[in-house]
Amino acid sequence: MNLHKGFGEAFKALTEWIRAAERLAILAVGNPFRMDDGVGIQILKLLKAKSRRIKMVNCLQVPENHLGEVIGFKPDKVLFIDGVDAGLPPGELVFAEFTGDEKIGPIISTHGVPLDVSASYLKASIGASVALIGVQVSSIEFGEGLTEEVERAAKSISHTLSKILNESFRGKL
């Protein structure tokens, strides 16, 4: 797994990764009733990108239930957006490309089926390159809404990601 931490390093790697995409599926994972665990879903809601070559899916806590839909879209790249526990300050960003043999390692997903299992399945089924944008959570206690630092990060990430998507897919309607 290639792991990039921090906004600058993560977005640089993410930009290069997305620019090579012809068809991109974005899967938001999370539980909006467990505070910061809903950060992926919040980012997806805020994204402003329009292209028939981009498919956005709100998976809630069960990305494995949406893999058939993703496979039918035939993306060459799949991007998961999720809250993670990587031992970083709340709201910090990681970008990781799944290479195929790894476990998530220092990044701990907050869901039952690990994302590396879904990533391996997608890679084997359609040969897609699979990556993760992970946002360090502060609290995954029961409750609605994001903590302040994670909310700020979600807005910043969605704004920057929208810009990257629109630049990368301009003319690729």
Helix, strand, coil proportions of the chain in percent (round to 5)? Answer: 40, 25, 35
Residue 46 resides in a domain: yes
10 vs 102, residue with greater confidence: 10
How many domains is the chain partitioned into structurally? 1
Type of residue at 169: F
Which pLDDT band, with edges at 50, 70 and 90, does 7 fall under? confident
Instruction: Give the residue numbers spanning the domain of 156.
Output: 2-139+146-168
Which tens digits make up the pLDDT trace of 117-166? 889 899 999 999 999 999 999 999 999 999 999 999 999 999 999 999 99
Residue 151 resides in a domain: yes
Radius of gyration of the chain (CA): 14
**Inter-residue contact 111 to 84 (CB < 8 Å):** no
Q: How far is 61 from 65, CA to CA, in rounded Å?
A: 9
Residue 54 resides in a domain: yes
pLDDT surpasses 70 at 110: no
pLDDT surpasses 80 at 109: no
3-state secondary structure of 113: coil
> What CATH number does residue 100 fall under?
3.40.50.1450
Residue 110 resides in a domain: yes
Q: Are strands 2-5 and 93-98 parallel, antiparallel or unpaired?
A: antiparallel
Mean pLDDT of 9-21: 93
Which pLDDT band, with edges at 50, 70 and 90, does 106 fall under? very low
Mean pLDDT of 25-45: 96
Least confident window among 98-102, 106-110, 145-149, 157-161: 106-110
Chain mean pLDDT for the chain: 89
Q: Which residues are 81's β-sheet partners? A: 28, 133
Type of residue at 154: A
Residue with tokens 């920057």, as numbered in its chain: 160
Q: Quick one: pLDDT at residue 142?
A: 96
Residue 173 resides in a domain: no
Q: Which residues are 133's β-sheet partners? A: 81, 95
